[in-house]
């Protein structure tokens, strides 16, 4: 029996964890804690971008475009780091929420390049929270003068995200989707994820 367990452990593929859901729906520090418990390398795009020198905008390029190029480079570096860790048999967790099927497909490609499997942690935000956030982002709270406030550009962007926020489709090529409620504490969330992985024979 012990020999069979050892063989099964050897045959298990490394895992790439991604998150789907509303930003802020998980407890603070939860992802790093979970990555530690799962023995996964936690890759943070902002931290990687911070290690890349700022680029002086070209004459025909805005500061925003130059920053986008830097973050694009950071994304490439993060993908290469993920593949390297997966090839060496290590689990990996991305820090960003991937709410676009296109971005999840790219993550799937990274997992495959590293010989790993893609695990989507699908955080279901309660409907009342989404409604509350939408009202906040629309700027519907009336000011002291009784007039409806206009949303800022940043709020409009997030509101647009809320309108197209959706879970993982059953047609997507993801090895396992673990649906979770974001209101749970970090310890319970971690245990639910581990239980699902064990049931699926993934750890």
Summarised one tens digit per residue, pLDDT across range 53-104 is: 876 767 776 777 777 888 889 999 999 999 999 999 999 999 888 888 888 9
Residue with the bigger pLDDT between 148 and 152: it is 152
pLDDT at 102 (0 to 100): 87
CA 165 to chain centre: 13
Q: b/e for 116-137, b at 16 or more Cβ within 10 A?
A: bbbbbbebbbeeeeeeebeeeb
| C-alpha dihedral sign at 65, 46, 103, 133 | negative
Which range has the top average pLDDT, 126-130, 138-142, 166-170, 173-177?
173-177
Whole-number Å distance between alpha carbons of 95 and 169: 21
72-81, 123-132, 144-153: the lowest-pLDDT one:
144-153
Confidence bin at 167 (pLDDT 50/70/90)? low
Inform me whether the pLDDT recorded for 194 exceeds 60: yes
Which phi and psi (to 5°) does residue 11 adopt?
Answer: -75, -15
Q: Determine the pLDDT at residue 85.
A: 96
Architecture of domain 13-199 in this structure: 3-Layer(aba) Sandwich (3.40)
Residue 166 has a pLDDT of 54
CA dist 154 and 91 (Å) reads: 34
For the entire predicted model, the pTM comes to: 0.75
Task: Give the tens place of pLDDT for each residue, 1-16.
Answer: 444 444 444 457 999 9
Whether the per-residue pLDDT at 188 is higher than 90: the answer is: no
CA atoms within 13 A on the CB side of 167: 13
Q: Where are the domains of the chain?
A: 13-199
Average pLDDT, the chain: 77
In this prediction, residue 158 carries a pLDDT of 54
pLDDT, tens digit (0-9, with 9 covering 90-100), for 32-57? 888 888 889 999 998 998 888 876 76
């Amino acid at each position: 029996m012990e020999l069979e367990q050892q063989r099964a452990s050897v045959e298990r593929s490394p895992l790439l964890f991604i998150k789907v859901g509303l930003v802020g729906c998980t407890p603070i520090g939860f992802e790093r804690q979970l990555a530690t418990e799962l023995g996964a390398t936690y890759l943070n795009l902002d931290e990687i971008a911070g290690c890349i020198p700022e680029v002086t905008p070209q004459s025909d390029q805005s500061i925003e475009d130059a920053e986008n190029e830097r973050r694009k480079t950071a994304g490439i570096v993060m993908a290469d780091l993920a593949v390297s860790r997966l090839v060496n048999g290590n689990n990996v967790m991305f820090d960003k929420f991937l709410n676009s099927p296109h971005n999840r497909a790219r993550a799937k490609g990274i997992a495959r390049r590293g010989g790993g499997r893609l695990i989507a942690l699908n955080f279901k935000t309660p409907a009342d929270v989404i409604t509350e956030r939408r009202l906040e982002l629309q700027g519907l709270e009336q000011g002291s003068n009784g007039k409806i406030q206009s949303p800022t550009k940043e709020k409009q962007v997030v509101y647009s995200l809320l309108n197209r926020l959706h879970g993982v489709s059953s047609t997507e090529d993801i090895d396992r989707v673990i649906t979770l409620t974001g209101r749970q504490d970090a310890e319970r969330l971690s245990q639910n994820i581990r239980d699902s992985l064990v049931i699926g024979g993934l750890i």
